[in-house]
Structure 1
Amino acid sequence: MSSTPPLHRRELLSVLGALCAATLLFFHRLLASGGVFCERDMLRVCLPAKWLWVQAVRQWEWPDWTPFNSLGQPFAGATVTGAFHPANLLGLLVEGPAMLTLMVLVCYPVAALGTYVLLRRWGTRPGAAAVGALGFAFGGALVSLTNSLPYLQAAMALPWLLVATDAVLKHASWAAAGAVGLVLGTLLFAGDPQGFAVGGATVLAVAAFGPLEGAPRRKVLLAAGAGLGLALLVSAVQLWASASVLRETFAERRTLETAVVWSTHPLRLLDMALGNVFALERPLRAPVAEGLLGTQVNDFWLRSLYVGLPMLFLAGVAAASRWRERRVQLALGLTALFVLLMFGRHTPLYALVYELLPPWRPFRYPEKLSVHVAFWLAVLAGLGAESLVAREAPGRRRVAWVLGGLGLGVLLLALTGTGARLAEALSGFYSGRPELWPEVARQVGERLSEGGLRTGSVCLALGLLLVWRKLQPRPLALVLVTLVAVDVAWVTEPVYVSCDRDLIEAQPLFVETMRQRVGGETLLGQTRVYTAVATIQQPSLEGLSLDDRDAAANLTMLVPDVGARWGVEAANWYLPTLSARVGALLKDQRQWWRRYAGLAGVGFFTLDTLQVQKRGMEKYVVAESEPFGVQLLANPLALPRVYLAAPRCVAGPEESLALIASSDFVPGRQAAVECLTPLSQPAPDADLGSVRVVERDPDGSTVEVDAKQPAVLVASEAYFSGWTATVDGAPAEVLPTNHAFLGVALPAGRHQVIWRFIPPGQGMALAVSGLGVGLCLLPWLLRLRRVRRA
């Protein structure tokens, strides 16, 4: 493979400008409507988490705790919050949901530019590099990730990780190792531990099997190992934040069966080649996902896997014409590996990796690895485009006949109704509701035919152009870039979901009712809500799209964490750092409704009308959303979020859980406390005193207590070892109380108690990360110093 001269600044700036323009053009629908990305995790995780981060940092504080999910979780410990990603600083520039839009849009030109730079370093012309760049950045996988910013930001960094690794192959220098460490660290900072692990393994694979250009293999491997070591140092603050709480969470209890949810069915290779064949519009998407492809959930993790038949053909050109080259062999091998892992439970490889590599077990959803498949296919397509452009006219004509024949064949299959017959043939795989199958088969057949007509036409047109003897390399490259861009955008642009910005910023319907009932300006620290909505009506609301209605329904139900900006704390679980103790309470739904929800300070439930009637809870309804059939209920058993109780000592979590579920336990009066030594007991039936919360923020609270008797102060925050308490300025032991909550023993008298969640070891981990960043930047700083002296 030929080498190219260094990239000039003018070329990089020109390409970056073109890619920014392409991004704005691609997302014109979002920008013209003033909408905001709102699908799934964007509404439920990313927008609340980034909002909380920005609010804390603007007050020169750091968010250590998020109270808005499953009775509270460590903020940075829930890696998906991306607490340490540098792009969070954009939130300080832009207000509200527009902050999230900016963070998303930045990812696409950055991902495309990284792919472009990598391909140019590998010896391709600008046009061929642009083919790979556009194919990766605007392919189905990355456009689908507009529903999850952490994984999109990790995907954005992937090409740059390979650029840094290529520098290791070329120079085996400390500067190249530092670049690997910095870029790989951002994958974890984005909130993607699996991407971090896979990225590190990819670095090693490239260092071990990539082509050498002067430096011996041993030196290259040492530099790559140094890069991985630096990445561990750089990301130490996030690694420690996650690892320090892992043993207290439900993640360690994940099984292989739960890990392989959202495995990619082999049939979705049709999606990769022809279009979004199986991701039908609702309500048929769920029967396809569950009944036909066996995702075990009612949706796809990535709605589109589209790469496109033209891109796949170009990747095939690279495989056929350059298979002797080490880089092509490596790209093909990694593509095959990631495809097999992407299939999850449909092949034995994922289960083998799960069993042999224990650190892999916390990871889940094999379909996430589709991003790596898309990246390497885009790289191969860029190399194939280079081979095609570099050929003389006779050589191109041979490729033209193959491509034209492929396009004509696909066209004929589409025109003769093969798509409909293939869809009908899939009936043997279908296990959903039988009455839905005819419509499912019809729509899948139509999409197969439409995809065949589109991709067949593009391939045939390109094949005919290649036959033209006088077509020069530069115009040919321009044609390839244009056809690939149009083909990819045609399929993937409709994939992203946006909602009306005013809808997202409007206060949810039930929030004001909750405020009036608790009698406070804010709901933070006052009460919690638990949603148990089983079915929801889908009304046709004037002016609202289907995606708008979905977002409005989530806001109405107050699912976590959509109400965070209004102080709504949810008892439901969505973020990954669910306390194992809280998980035990949520798992026992019978006791949850009878007792545990009250102990957790859950003052409200949202249920659908059918559930309310089924449970006979009509008398507790305090508000209703008629369009969605959702009702807000007040919980008469809810305890205050902070109160005094008489301690009953227990030996451990199991005994505590058994006690609070027993009939002789008196909620609100007694507390099951895990204490090594007996605690002072109040007199029977005596007045224990009063409690007043004087200050509350997401990381803790300040409480004034007038204890008439010795007692334990109970706070219904999820217990983690990072919780601290001071009593009248002196440190006090925080005791696990009522199985999942906090308690501190108090003598009689007036006291001030301050609760704070302080992640253990975070200061030291931050210092280690700072050291790692310094070591990565050191060679660049020394080089800058030498240049200035010269």
Structure 2
Amino acid sequence: MRQNSVLSYDLHWSIGLIKRPFHENLIAALILIGLLLILFARQIFGGNALLASDLIFKLDPVWQASAPATFTIPDNELLSDQVYQFYPWSHFTFESIRNGEFPPLWNPYSYAGTPFLANAQSALFSPFRLLTYLFPLNASFIIMAVTQLFVAGYGTYLFGRVIKLSHMAALLAMITFTLSGPVLVWLLYPLSLTYVWLPLLMWVTERWLVRKSWAAVLWPALIIGCQFLGGNPEASFYLLVLWAFYVAFRLFSTTAEQQNLRQWWQYNRIVLAQVFMALAAGFALAAIQLLPFLAYLPHSSVFVERSSANSGNLFRTIFLSWQAWPDVITAVFPRFFGTPVNRSYWYPFSNYARQTLYVGVVPLLVGLATAVPLWRKRKQDPEKQTAIFFLIMGILFFGIALRLPLFELINQLPLFNLAMPDRTKIEYAFCLAIVAGFGFDYLREAWEKRPFSSQTWRWYMRLSVGLIGIGLIVVAGSYIGLGFFRDTIVQIGETQAIAAKQQRNILFPASLDYYLQQVAIKYEQMRALFTIQNPVMFLPVLVGGILLGGRRRWQYLLVVVTAVDLLAVHVTYFPAIPPEHIYPAPQIISQLPVDAATNRVAGLDLALMPNSSVSFNLADIRGYDPMTPWRYLELVRSATGYTRVSHYALFRQPDERLFDLLNVKYILTTQLIDNKWEHLSPMTAYVHLYQNNTALPRAYLVTDAIFVKSSAASLQQINNPAFDIASQVILEGTSSSPVTPFEGNTGEVQINTYHSDYVEIQTVTNQPAYLVLSDTYMPGWHVSVDGEEAELLIANHAFRAVVVPAGEHLVSFTYRPISFVVGRAVSATMALIFIISGLFNYRTRTKK
């Protein structure tokens, strides 16, 4: 009888570590740890934080006076998300833990309040995040980075071994994926909390598919749950697409003898049930994060904007979306377009992180040299089919990422059209790493038969020579071309600078002369990319030469050169900042009056950049987050002076009416503003502090209500100049009001308690009134009056209100969405099932 599995793994290989020489696995782990110590030497041994917080000294006038004397440019200006989103969020999370309020469900410091746990990128329950809660905040970033890369790298090695890669080939795959550009450039973003689980998921999946036991399926389910807890739906989607394709490939390849679909179904129905069980169990484990996210998503700006986006002409979209095509250059020349580390990056249609495809010269060379031979031998040697699978998937994800013609059609499919295709470069890097591992072993087999004389080795040598030639031509041609077109390039840059200043681009606050000087500097930086000052540009030439000259020790050489190559490119990418330079308290923040803690602040232009106030527990009306509450965004974007840059909510000038409504009592700005604003700082100060004496309090009472039938009508009404924000409230719903309007003092309001997800307010009024709280409305908020549940009303389009009877009453607002309550119960139940199942399996195995 023909062997059942085309990929027939004997017990020695399927069990993984247990039957394999322990020292090889230990060596792999030690090598990986050593590489990570080199990669993060400045942070680990220098006592520095893995945080690009020196960016505040360049962008924000509030901190420019606090810049150290040695500061010139930020360590990595691309990492603004880390500075203005993820660090403030981490600070808020750690503060919540200290205050006994974990998990924080609501962030009161941005956008007049916004869901926090439900914002998936908070990733509060990711295993990597949970680990960091044991350490100081500043140390958490390096701890998380190292543990993530270790999981990604060692998982790649284990998967390589279980699909029968040799020790050296698995090491090559491990180094390639761990230190590849697509993995490292996103390491300090939340999506890394998801994609680093990919290799480990593939490893446990392979072991489960060999055993086909219900016990073994718990491991894929656990990893699926962990990657969901990483909080990036796009990364999860692409990861699970590759996983699903791999499972399908294994199921079809291991049942090749089944002659029809019915036989195939009979053979695999239990495995398919296990697949769906793994997905369901993983989802259930992460329900505490996923259910709140899914409940919040329809109320967020990212959902409304992406779902309503029009892709335009379909033919043009599928065939002519060319802006990502130049990314292919970075597969060989990682810094062809420059780097954010020294501000030499120049490509106008992307950024360094989204563009990079670099996984090393050696893996690409080995993959190209062995792709055709592996394809030809796929039928004679079943193990080669796995290499072909990853080769095909690598090409698929490569095409999706670069939005190549026809591949772009995939990006228009449901779900794919809601994701960002450049994220698939991570899957491409993993596939190429595995293909490089198979290619390495194929070269070794060819070497053992006919050293240097086999067709594969001849192709390998030709590609090495070609690499040298291409490298020299590209470098020399680019240098000469930049010199020849100097005047044209400078003229284009100057034209763009002049246009930006004429349009009063908020990101260009300096003088025109400054930016014209920067154009000349940028040109010199571009040309320097192709000189000996930038040795990274010569890596193809250097690597090609080394491979030709060191052929007799090629096995070790390929692995070592790959590690050195990738470290040379990426070691400077990661910032190393002294702890004292992480959001130092500026003088103007200390000048804020005591009541700033119970009122809101705002900055104009780039002063007090959005979310930076979170680090000082100050509530701002601005924020930086793609998942902005949609109602709130609708309200503020109609304001005078509002502008949005990427996901930054910014103001050029104060909208007096809106700022009053939003309880903005203090403004920080480099401008001199007049009218009603009281100047609190010296006139000679660079950053000025103003007080708004007409700002409404955070909570107040009114008796006159205007009822509307829809959110569109409420937005229209709130922009009506006849609407009196101090004495009226706009409510959505029925026009029957239990409150009678009257003039005069409506009563007194005092906020007794103000926590992130709980607000307690004391009211005293002579007759029924509406208590208006200018905090963002969101489903999941509940209100009670004297302990009795009351109806929560949508007030002024985006805020909350409740009817309070005459007399003295205690009003409590509590944020407890049902999605969190159910999600917590489901996750706890599933975690308990995992623990019990694990203990049962352990006892069963020990008895055997």
TM-score range, shorter chain: 0.7 to 0.9
Matched, 1:83 2:83: no
Residue by residue over 1:612-663, the C-alpha shift from the partner in whole angstroms, topping out at 9 and shown as x without a partner, is 25x6679655448999x54443334421111112241412322322232222
Which residue pairs with 2:423 in the alignment?
368
1:454 partnered with 2:512? no
- SS class of match (1:239): helix
Distance (whole Å) between structure 1 residues aligned to residue 743 and residue 241 of structure 2: 63
Aligned counterpart, 2:657: 595
Instruction: Assess if the C-alpha contact under 8 Å between 1:311 and 1:378 holds in 2.
Output: yes
Please name the residue that 1:543 is paired with: none
User: Alpha carbons of 1:84 and 1:669: their partners in 2 closer, same or farther (altered >3 Å)?
Assistant: same
Aligned positions of 1:555-594 closer than 5 A: 557-590=607-640, 593-594=655-656
Cα deviations across residues 704-723 of structure 1 (Å, max 9, x unaligned)?
Answer: 11123321111111110111
Normalised by the length of structure 1, the TM-score is: 0.85
The gaps in structure 1 that reach 5 residues or longer are: 535-556
2:752 matched to 1:694?
yes
Alignment-derived partner of residue 368 in structure 2? 316
The reply on whether 1:42 has 2:82 as its aligned counterpart is yes
Change (3 A) 1:73 1:481: same
* Equivalence for 2:200: 160
Rounded to whole Å, the distance in 2 between the matches of 1:736 and 1:16 is 56
- Residue 237 of structure 2 corresponds to 197
CA distance in 1: counterparts of 2:438 and 2:675, whole angstroms: 65
Instruction: Verify: 1:225 aligned to 2:260, yes or no.
Output: no
Listed as ranges, the matches of 1:158-557 within 5 Å are 158-210=198-250, 212-213=253-254, 216=267, 218-255=269-306, 265-281=324-340, 288-290=346-348, 294-295=349-350, 299-302=351-354, 304-323=356-375, 324=378, 325-344=384-403, 347=405, 349-350=407-408, 352-353=409-410, 355-357=412-414, 359-363=415-419, 365-392=420-447, 394-396=450-452, 398-399=457-458, 400-413=460-473, 416-417=476-477, 420-421=480-481, 433=494, 443-448=525-530, 450-466=535-551, 468=552, 471=553, 476-514=554-592, 516=593, 519-520=594-595, 523-524=596-597, 526-533=598-605, 557=607
* Whole-angstrom CA distance in 2 between matches of 1:569 and 1:401: 62
What amino acid maps onto 1:53 in structure 2? T
Shift of the alpha carbon at 1:744? 0.9
Distance in 1 between the 2:480 and 2:565 partners?
23
Q: 1:600 Cα shift?
A: 1.5
Amino acid at match of 1:459: G
In structure 2, how many angstroms separate the alpha carbons of the residues matched to 1:493 and 1:282?
11
Rate the CA distance shift 1:28–1:79 in 2: closer, same or farther, 3 A: same
**1:314-357: CA deviation from partner (whole Å, max 9, x where unpaired):** 2223423322232222212221222222124x64644x445431
Q: Using a 3 Å threshold, how does the CA distance of structure 1 residues 432 and 578 change in structure 2: closer, same or farther? A: same
Question: 2:73 matched to which residue of 1?
Answer: none
State how far apart, in whole Å, the 1-side matches of 2:732 and 2:83 are.
38
After superposition, the Cα gap between the structure-2 partners of 1:250 and 1:671, relative to the gap in structure 1 and judged at 3 Å, is same
One-letter amino acid of the structure 1 residue matched with residue 204 of structure 2: A
Q: How many Å apart are 1:284 and its aligned residue?
A: 5.9
Distance across 1 between alignment mates of 2:813 and 2:707: 23
In 2, Cα distance between equivalents of 1:424 and 1:163? 53
CA distance in 1, matches of 2:48, 2:682: 27
Moved more, 262-271 or 113-122: 262-271
In 1: Cα distance, 2:333 partner to 2:294 partner? 42
Moved more, 589-598 or 182-191: 589-598
- Superposition deviation, residue 130 in structure 1: 1.2
Which ranges of structure 2 fall in alignment gaps of 5 or more residues?
A: 1-6, 53-78, 256-263, 312-316, 379-383, 496-515, 643-654
8 Å contact from structure 1 (residues 75, 83) kept in 2: no
Do 2:298 and 2:304's aligned partners in 1 also have CA atoms closer than 8 Å? Answer: no
**What amino acid is the match of 1:757?**
Y
Q: Which amino acid aligns with 2:550?
A: L
Residue 488 of structure 1, CA deviation: 0.6
Query: TM-score when scaled to structure 2?
Result: 0.80
2:705 maps to: 648
In the aligned structure 2, how far is the partner of 1:421 from the partner of 1:624?
Answer: 53
Equivalent residue runs for 1:631-642 within 5 Å: 631-642=688-699
SS in 1 for 2:822: helix
Deviation at 1:385, TM superposition (A): 1.9
Q: Secondary structure at the match of 1:673?
A: strand
Once the two structures are superposed, residues 552-611 of structure 1 have per-residue CA deviations (whole angstroms, 9 ceiling, x without a partner) of xxxxx332322323212222232233111101112113287132222112223343x3xx
Local SS of the residue matching 2:191: helix
Deviations 1:670-709 (A, max 9, x none): 2112242522335532211111111111112111111233
CA contact (8 A) 2:330 2:355 kept: no
Aligned equivalent of 1:659: 717
Task: Give 2:197's aligned amino acid.
Answer: A
Where 2:210 maps in the other structure, the secondary structure is helix
SS in 1 for 2:137: coil
Task: Judging by fraction of residues, say which structure has more helix.
Answer: 1
Q: Over aligned residues, Cα RMSD in angstroms?
A: 3.3
| Alpha-carbon distance, 1:181 to partner | 1.9
- The structural deviation recorded for 1:187 is 2.0
Retained in 2: the 8 A contact 1:413–1:419? no
Taking structure 1 as reference, are residues 94 and 316 closer, same or farther at Cα in structure 2, changes over 3 Å only?
Answer: same
Residue 112 (structure 1) shift? 0.7
Could you list the per-position Cα deviations for residues 420-447 of structure 1 after superposition, in whole angstroms to 9, with x for gaps in the alignment? 4389789899975457877656544543
Instruction: Give SS of 1:232's match.
Output: helix
AA partner of residue 437 (structure 2) = G
What SS class does the counterpart of residue 581 from structure 1 fall into? Answer: helix
Number of aligned positions between the proteins? 738
Structure 1 residue 161: Cα displacement: 1.6
Match of 2:147 in 1: 106
CA contact (8 A) 2:195 2:236 kept: no
Aligned counterparts of 2:744 and 2:825: Cα–Cα separation in 1:
50
1:451-492 per-residue CA deviation (whole Å, 9 max, x = no partner) reads 4522211122112222x3xx4xxxx43322211110110111
Tell me how far 1:414 sits from its aligned partner: 5.5
Q: Distance in 1 between matches of 2:694 and 2:344?
A: 40
Letter in 1 for 2:434: V
